[in-house]
A and B are shown apart, each in its own frame.
Chain A
Amino acid sequence: MIGTLKSLWAVGLKLFAPTQTQGYPEVKPALAPRYRGRIILSRDPDGQERCVACNLCAVVCPVDCIEVVKAETVEGRWYPETFRINFARCIFCGLCEEACPTAAIQLTPDFELADYARSSLVYDKPDLLIAGKGKYPGYRYWDVAGKTAPPNTDPKDLAP
């Protein structure tokens, strides 16, 4: 008897507690930028695709759900001919973002990926590539790759 009353009291108190329930989907939750949701491919400050198809994200992915196929522009710059992530498999661990040397692949706070068909969870490059720089605004891999000659180089120095 006493126990039942105690329980009723405890539950009844909650009537006066501040409400936690959010009216999702009418009210969107505020998520930190580091939240690990839908994956995107970003671009360099100069607007070029950042991904160089190095395949490090693919190899680090614990569920093997990334497939990248390398291609090369006429100038010799590597880029992904195709880039596929299977969100039916992804566990949003973020290891791909950590492995990426070019800051191309980034997880975003968008988690609304549900779909009725598994095949629509397979995202290809057009679904992944965005116009902006994402979380790393100033970074450009090619500036730090140590492959471009400093402006004051003597051209005689470059050849045999």
Chain B
Amino acid sequence: MTVRLTIDGRQVEAQEGEDLLTACTNAGVEVPHFCWHRAMGSIGACRLCAVKVRRHEADPGTIEMACMIPVADGQHIDIADPEAAAFRGHVIEWLMRNHPHDCAVCEEGGDCRLQDMTIASGHHLRRAGPDKRIHRNQYLGPLITHEMNRCIACYRCTRFYRGVAGGRDLDVFGAHDRVYFGRAEDGVLESPFAGNLAEICPTGVFNDRGWSKVYARPWDMLETPSVCPHCAVGCNIGLSVRANRLRRVISRSHPAINADFLCDRGRYGPLFIEGPSALKAARHHGHAVPLRTALDQAQEAIAVSAALGGAIGIGSPRASLEANYALRRLVGPEHFFAGLDAAEVALHRRLAAHLANASIASLADIAAADAILVLGEDLTGTAPMAALAVRQASRAAERALAAEKHVPAFLDNAVRVAGEGRRAPLVLVTPVPDALDAIATHPLRRAPADIAGFGHAIAAALAGKRADPDASAAAAALAAASAPVIIAGAGLGDPAVLDAAAAIATALNPRARLALFPAEANSLGLALLGGEGLEAAADVPGRGAVVVLENDLHSRCDPATIARLFADRAVIALDCVETATTAIAHTVVPVASFADAAGTCINHEGRAQRTIAARPDSAPAAWRVLAAFGGGAEAGLDDLQVALARDCPQFAAIAAAAPAASYRTPSGRIARAPARFSGRTASDSAGGDAAPPRDPDSPFSWTMEGGALPAELFQGVRILAAAALPPPAQAPAIGGAGLILIPLHDPFSVSETDRASTILAARAPGPQLRLHPADAARLKLAEGAIVSVEGRTVPLVLDKHIPIGHAGLTTRRTTPRRLMPEGSK
């Protein structure tokens, strides 16, 4: 129901049940505030949102906290009322009483809510002396800085960290004017979402430690919209660059994906392009050569391959769709391979087919669900932001109970109390304990091989058949829900789990939505493009060159397959980081990473999203290099997409993911630099300078010339069309001796690019092998022993939660298989 309000003399409509602050914000009127946050509601801690509220025209009115009172028909809200403005001015003065005078040395400066609000309130003269309340700061780990003296006690940090992200180790201590937000003692913040503190804290208490090391003021950086390349969720990010250096990653709001937050992998992972293992120089036979030489050598090797059976192209789920396509066009579809082992190729094809026929859940749909089944997926490790969405959904029951008690939904704390900790049904079926266990109503453990069976039992129970009690309970919870979401993914490498999840979603039709998470950022794009597994590539006869695109094959298949594939062939590796594959390639060509090249990735919902080059000076885009090898003369991304749509009609829609390079705002190109960008003329010598570079692949300028970013044009486009489901995949045979693999996923480190980010690597625990103590005793291995498994050496951790006969291993290749761990010296 809508109600009519008058805000500063203007008639607006609002939804009943909203608070005044939300209503004003939706009407485009800014009310000063600190503690209110659209993702976290109101708690009334800061008292800055004071406005004059009159119940009717003639009412003299009272001062109210806009975030704490509901809208009502006929209300008059005066934000500019002198009494209200004076009240807000006093609030600011109180807050500034204990606030240090250190904007000059505060990373927040220039993008600080407190700074803005202080200036807006007109408080520019202090009446109090320089003595302040002083706190000791804590060490909170490698990601976040802490400067407690700047706190204004808005409680946003704890509300996010505990309430939204489910963390336990950040809290508020003390009383009255000495409240302290931190940990009980110094130590690394445990949550994989801790990086968001830097963004939600309205002051400079928590800041991004990585940015602090290579700091530039917010008004001094080029901002480019991009898409996180670190998992299949495809969160929208903003990349901040100055002097050709990536300094910071921030979250960019996408209504269906990441509205307000980012996981730490997405926030700190992209900094791999500045890390020590970023690939910068070309090599030929181990010697550094100019890029031109490497390109010529590679082109010649590909040219002579025609007589040797043709060149082979190995694609990658890390590379953009355009790069994979350019490679496929170069070597021909029959010589293009997916860069995964055969089982993972089949897995992702099956996943794509299920998604094409399902009603797909976006992250926003997951957060709005009232019952969730997670089948086999360690979401916090494989798709962290999806886990955050699940946490929001689990509060649905709490909200419903609070609503029954007539507690307004916007009063966040009151809802939590009135909700009595009720949790919406969350059925969590995983092989090992999971980070979401604490909020799951049905935390269930099954061995990897039994998870698909359990899923099918739920589907059977939904169809009215008899099933085991756990499955029946899960089925009952899902059947009672009005918007259930079924979640599975590639995390266990088992296509049968995907079939089971799809079967449950079908059984719940039409209410249920399905979310299936592929392993990597562009796994889905690669699956839709086609290409067989690496085993098939190794079987190709001939001695033509093999071109490996942005892929470390050593993490994809066993060493024997790589040896067979590379035998007698010239190996050309195109990559943006050093990997075990670039180390053995004959010709190494540095190419642009996702942050330096325009390209398209297809996320878990089948949404094509565009990345755009963020640094003016970098290696060439892989697709440009590959198109040039084949004599393709595409001038920019748009032309390549035309060719792509012609050759692969399933991708015809991707051009709509973002505006073409020819797009112009009313003021010309889209400006990357803010209007107040400083230092432009510090080094120039009056006229002797080159013109600024041009970006041929996007409508962005590299300067402050141009218009504002039209955010609504950069939301991507869903491209999946209903497709015939291939016959059920063969359950991969995992006979033989050894322990059955349980792939372990780490929220901080999955791929070679995650590990190449120095700051993320400092946070991530290293790879490990986890065994049940009984298995370890049988193998005569002790806790902490260095174990060799699949040619890697990893430390052993004993864990009684690992089912006997299984081994948990941090690995990227999830294909079900058996491991034979051995002690190594």
Set B102, B180, B681: member contacting A147, Cβ < 8 A: B102
A122 to B325, CA, bound (A): 48
A86 part of interface (Cβ distance < 8 Å): yes
B220 part of interface (Cβ distance < 8 Å): yes
Q: Which residue of B lies closest to A141 (CB)?
A: B104
Set B99, B103, B149: member contacting A54, Cβ < 8 A: B103
| A86 and B182 contact, CB distance less than 8 A | no
Q: Which residue of B lies closest to A55 (CB)?
A: B217
Set A59, A78, A119: member contacting B217, Cβ < 8 A: A59
Question: Contact size class for A?
Answer: 35 or more
| Nearest CB on B from A136, distance (A) | 15
A134 part of interface (Cβ distance < 8 Å): no
Chain B 530-559 residues near chain A, CB threshold 8 A: none
| B134 and A89 contact, CB distance less than 8 A | no
Whether A160 contacts B682 in the complex (CB less than 8 A), given A145-B100, A146-B100, A147-B102, comes out as: no
Set B102, B136, B213, B688: member contacting A145, Cβ < 8 A: B102
Set B131, B180, B679, B688: member contacting A58, Cβ < 8 A: B679
Question: Contact size class for B?
Answer: 35 or more
A68 to B182, CA, bound (A): 32
A109 part of interface (Cβ distance < 8 Å): no
Q: Which 4 A-B pairs have the closest CB atoms?
A: A67-B679, A67-B682, A54-B104, A158-B136
A contact residues around B215 at 8 Å (CB):
70
B678 part of interface (Cβ distance < 8 Å): yes
B357 part of interface (Cβ distance < 8 Å): no
Q: List 5 A-B contacts (CB under 8 A).
A: A84-B679, A89-B686, A102-B104, A153-B134, A160-B182
Chain A 120-138 residues near chain B, CB threshold 8 A: 122
| A144 and B101 contact, CB distance less than 8 A | yes
Given contacts A69-B216, A145-B102, 15 further A-B contacts (CB under 8 A): A54-B104, A58-B679, A59-B220, A66-B679, A68-B679, A88-B685, A122-B685, A141-B104, A143-B130, A144-B101, A145-B105, A146-B102, A159-B135, A159-B136, A160-B173
A52 to B106, CA, bound (A): 10
| A84 and B683 contact, CB distance less than 8 A | yes
| Nearest CB on A from B659, distance (A) | 29
Set B102, B135, B219, B685: member contacting A119, Cβ < 8 A: B685
A77 to B102, CA, bound (A): 11
A34 part of interface (Cβ distance < 8 Å): no
Whether A64 contacts B216 in the complex (CB less than 8 A), given A146-B101, A147-B149, A160-B174, comes out as: no
B57 part of interface (Cβ distance < 8 Å): no
B contact residues around A145 at 8 Å (CB):
100-102, 104-105
A contact residues around B136 at 8 Å (CB):
158-159
| Nearest CB on B from A137, distance (A) | 19
A contact residues around B677 at 8 Å (CB):
64
A56 to B212, CA, bound (A): 17
Whether A67 contacts B678 in the complex (CB less than 8 A), given A86-B683, A158-B134, comes out as: yes
B contact residues around A141 at 8 Å (CB):
104
| A59 and B678 contact, CB distance less than 8 A | yes
Chain B 107-149 residues near chain A, CB threshold 8 A: 109-110, 130-132, 134-136, 149
| Nearest CB on B from A42, distance (A) | 15
B contact residues around A95 at 8 Å (CB):
none
| Nearest CB on B from A4, distance (A) | 47
Whether A58 contacts B678 in the complex (CB less than 8 A), given A148-B134, A159-B135, A160-B180, comes out as: yes
| Nearest CB on A from B4, distance (A) | 44
Chain A 61-92 residues near chain B, CB threshold 8 A: 61, 63-70, 72, 77-78, 84-86, 88-89
A23 part of interface (Cβ distance < 8 Å): no
A contact residues around B686 at 8 Å (CB):
88-89, 118
A25 part of interface (Cβ distance < 8 Å): no
